[in-house]
C-alpha cells in the first residue's frame, strides 16, 4: 500500500505544487485560492465521515480504495484542458472527493498490518513511501516545464498536468495487484485492540487538539501563491522546492513515527512548536533563504501529522469501528483546515501580520492538549 500511495502522491502532489500559481494565472484572487484549497481539504476530509461508515458497514474496503484512486484518471490530467479557474477548482475538488472515498478504508487496511510492527513506525514507513511519490511528482512536472520553457506559461502548465497521467496508470495497476495478493488484510490483526479507560473521551480530546493544529496550518497553495506574488522564485523553481519539501516530509514521518512508538503524543506537541515557526518565516521575511527555512518547518509539521495522526487512532479505536473513527477524525480536521485556510486567504489580502498571528496562536494552542493527552495515555487513565 505504500507503493500504491507512492504513485497516488506522484499524481496529485505533482499537481498540488503548481495549483496556487496556476489558479492565479487563470485569474483567481488570494481569497479564492485560500477558499478553494480549504474547501478541497474539507471535502477530502469531511466526506470521510460517510465513506468511513460505509467501509465499516459493508467491509468493502478494497472496492472503496480502488474507486477512490480511479477518480485521478479524470481529476488531475484534466487540469491540462481547463480554461477558467472555476473549472480548475472543480477538478481539484473532484480529486479531493476521490481521496475521501479511499482514505478511511485505506488507513483501516494499513492499520491491521501496522499493529504487528508498531503503529508509529508502520505509518511512518507508509508515509515515507507516500512522500517519495510526492517528491517524484513535482520533479516530473518540473522536467515537463523545462522541456517547454520557451513556450507561454499556459502551455507549460498544461504539459505539466498532462504528464501526470502516467503515474495514474501505475497507481491503479499496483492497487489491483495489492487487492489480489492480500484479499483479507484484517487477518493480520488477530487480537482485539487494548481498551483504555474512557477511550471515547480520550479520542474526543485528541480530535479537539488536532482541530486547533489544523486551523492554523496553511495549505501549500497559499504558500506557493505568496512565493510567486512576491517574486521570490521563478515558476520553474516551485516544483523543485515542493519536491524538496515533500522529501523532508518523508524523513520527518519516519523520525516522528518511530518517536511516537516510544514517547506517544508528546512528540506531536514538539512538532507543533516547529510548525508554528513556518508562518512568520514564510510571510513576513522578504528573503528567499528565510522562505526556504519556513518551508522546512512546514514540512516537518506535515510529516509528523501524516504519520502520528493515523497511528494514534489505531491505538485508540478498536478495529471493528476504525473506519468510522478515521472518517470522523478527518472530517473534523478538514473542517478546521477549511476555516483556517479561508481565514488566512482573507487575511493575506489585508494584513500579513494578522495572518501570521492567527497561524501561530492556533497551532501553539494545541500544544498543552497534546502534552496532557500524552501523559494520560501513558498512564492509561481517563481524561
Single pTM value for the model: 0.71
Whether pLDDT at 326 is above 80: yes
**Confidence band for 198, pLDDT divided at 50, 70 and 90:** low
Whether pLDDT at 264 is above 80: yes
**Confidence band for 381, pLDDT divided at 50, 70 and 90:** very low
State the pLDDT at residue 199.
Answer: 59
Query: Are the beta carbons of 52 and 93 closer than 8 angstroms?
Result: no
Query: Are the beta carbons of 104 and 51 closer than 8 angstroms?
Result: yes
Q: Does domain 2-379 have CATH number 1.20.1250.20?
A: yes
Lowest mean pLDDT among 151-160, 233-242, 279-288, 319-328: 233-242
Query: Are the beta carbons of 304 and 268 closer than 8 angstroms?
Result: yes
State the pLDDT at residue 190.
Answer: 66
State the pLDDT at residue 310.
Answer: 83
Whether pLDDT at 224 is above 70: yes
The dihedral formed by the CA atoms of 60, 62, 63 and 69, expressed in degrees to the nearest 10: 140
Query: Are the beta carbons of 25 and 226 closer than 8 angstroms?
Result: no
**Confidence band for 382, pLDDT divided at 50, 70 and 90:** very low
Q: Where are the domains of the chain?
A: 2-379
The dihedral formed by the CA atoms of 173, 176, 178 and 179, expressed in degrees to the nearest 10: 180
Whether pLDDT at 197 is above 60: no
Amino acid at each position: 500500500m505504500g507503493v500504491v500511495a507512492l504513485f497516488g502522491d506522484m499524481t496529485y502532489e505533482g499537481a498540488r505544487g503548481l495549483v496556487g500559481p496556476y489558479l492565479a494565472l487563470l485569474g483567481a484572487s488570494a481569497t479564492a485560492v485560500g477558499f478553494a484549497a480549504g474547501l478541497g481539504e474539507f471535502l477530502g476530509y469531511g466526506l470521510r465521515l460517510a465513506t468511513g461508515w460505509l467501509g465499516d458497514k459493508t467491509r468493502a474496503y478494497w472496492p472503496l480504495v480502488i474507486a477512490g484512486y480511479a477518480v485521478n484518471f479524470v481529476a488531475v490530467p484534466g487540469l491540462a484542458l481547463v480554461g477558467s479557474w472555476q473549472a480548475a477548482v472543480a477538478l481539484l475538488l473532484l480529486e479531493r472527493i476521490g481521496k475521501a472515498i479511499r482514505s478511511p478504508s485505506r488507513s483501516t487496511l494499513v492499520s491491521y498490518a501496522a499493529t504487528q510492527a508498531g503503529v508509529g513506525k508502520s505509518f511512518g514507513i507508509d508515509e515515507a513511501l507516500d512522500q517519495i511519490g510526492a517528491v517524484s511528482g513535482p520533479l516530473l512536472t518540473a522536467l515537463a516545464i523545462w522541456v517547454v520553457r520557451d513556450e507561454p506559461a499556459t502551455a507549460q502548465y498544461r504539459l505539466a498536468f498532462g504528464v501526470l497521467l502516467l503515474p495514474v496508470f501505475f497507481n491503479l495497476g499496483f492497487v489491483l495487484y495489492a487487492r489480489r495478493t492480500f484479499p483479507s488484510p484484517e487477518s493480520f490483526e488477530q487480537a482485539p485492540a487494548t481498551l483504555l479507560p474512557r477511550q471515547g473521551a480520550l479520542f474526543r480530546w485528541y480530535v479537539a487538539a488536532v482541530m486547533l493544529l489544523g486551523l492554523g496550518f496553511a495549505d501549500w497553495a497559499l504558500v506557493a501563491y505568496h512565493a510567486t506574488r512576491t517574486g521570490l522564485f521563478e515558476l520553474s523553481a516551485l516544483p523543485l522546492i515542493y519536491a524538496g519539501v515533500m522529501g523532508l516530509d518523508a524523513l520527518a514521518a519516519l523520525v516522528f513515527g518511530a518517536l511516537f512508538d516510544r514517547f506517544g503524543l508528546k512528540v506531536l506537541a514538539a512538532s507543533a512548536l516547529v510548525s508554528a515557526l513556518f508562518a512568520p518565516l514564510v510571510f513576513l521575511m522578504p528573503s528567499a533563504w528565510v522562505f526556504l527555512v519556513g518551508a522546512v518547518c512546514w514540512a516537518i509539521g506535515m510529516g509528523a501529522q501524516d504519520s502520528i495522526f493515523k497511528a494514534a487512532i489505531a491505538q485508540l479505536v478498536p478495529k471493528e469501528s476504525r473506519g468510522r473513527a478515521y472518517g470522523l477524525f478527518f472530517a473534523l480536521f478538514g473542517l478546521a483546515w477549511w476555516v483556517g485556510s479561508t481565514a488566512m486567504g482573507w487575511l493575506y489580502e489585508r494584513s500579513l501580520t494578522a495572518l501570521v498571528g492567527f497561524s501561530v496562536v492556533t497551532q501553539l494552542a494545541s500544544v498543552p492538549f497534546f502534552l496532557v493527552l500524552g501523559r494520560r495515555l501513558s498512564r492509561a487513565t481517563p481524561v
